[in-house]
Amino acid sequence: MKLPRTFYDRNDVAQIAREIVGKRLVSLLNEQEVAGIITEVEAYAGKNDKACHANNGKRTKRTEVMYGAPGHTYVYLCYGMHHMLNIVTNRTDRADAILIRSMKPTKGIDHILRRRNKEYLDPLLTCGPGKLGQAIGLDHRQHNGLDLCGDQLWIEEGDQFDKNDTIATIRVGIDYAEEDALKPWRFYLKDSTWISKK
């Protein structure tokens, strides 16, 4: 069952991010079905988060979808080559988003191997936001603003696990964000090997 819009339409991004860990991401992009259990995410708290692209109410063509309705994708190109998957949360105009950083593949592994140019199933396939984007066939021009309540890309209930096994720590690659760089808004599954970094 796809998570309903009401799941995304709440005001505590960090809480939603924590809840997304362990759920299943399903992609039918490019007519190839790929799925995996989400193992690592980061929360970005809109206008009041110095690490967020929408910090201080910044609006550009790129960030515009973050100000839109919850339950849609925000896909942007990082370092000129990596397509990053984010989920817009909170009500329209708040610009909160959650970066999906890693997953454990469960379906369509042959498609992932082909897209990633690899031969074996191991964490190098999908542990890290750039790798994950490539694995699910993401493109920032085609898939920005996609509705997660539609039929191309969505999140559904995943495996059961102990909620105490979700670790909260500081986010990756945002040292420029001053005091917000210390916020414990990166969440990952303890003991999982499908994580970008310890």
Partner DNA sequence: AATTAGATGTTCT
Partner DNA sequence: GAACATCTAATTA
Q: Where on the chain is the footprint of DNA (CB under 7 A)? A: 42, 44, 51-53, 58, 60-63, 74, 76-82, 84, 86, 97, 99, 116, 124, 128-132, 171-174, 176, 196
- Quote the CA–CA distance of 132 and 25 in Å, as a whole number: 11
Return the number of the residue (31 or 198) whose C-beta is nearest DNA: 198
Return the number of the residue (25 or 84) whose C-beta is nearest DNA: 84
Shortest CB 112 distance to DNA, Å: 12
Shortest CB 171 distance to DNA, Å: 7
User: In a 3-state reduction of DSSP, which class is residue 120?
Assistant: coil
Shortest CB 53 distance to DNA, Å: 4
In the chain, alpha helices (H): 5-8, 13-20, 109-116, 129-135
Q: Which residues, in sequence order, are bridge partners of residue 2?
A: 156
Return the number of the residue (26 or 52) whose C-beta is nearest DNA: 52
Return the number of the residue (22 or 73) whose C-beta is nearest DNA: 73
- Quote the CA–CA distance of 145 and 139 in Å, as a whole number: 11
Shortest CB 186 distance to DNA, Å: 10
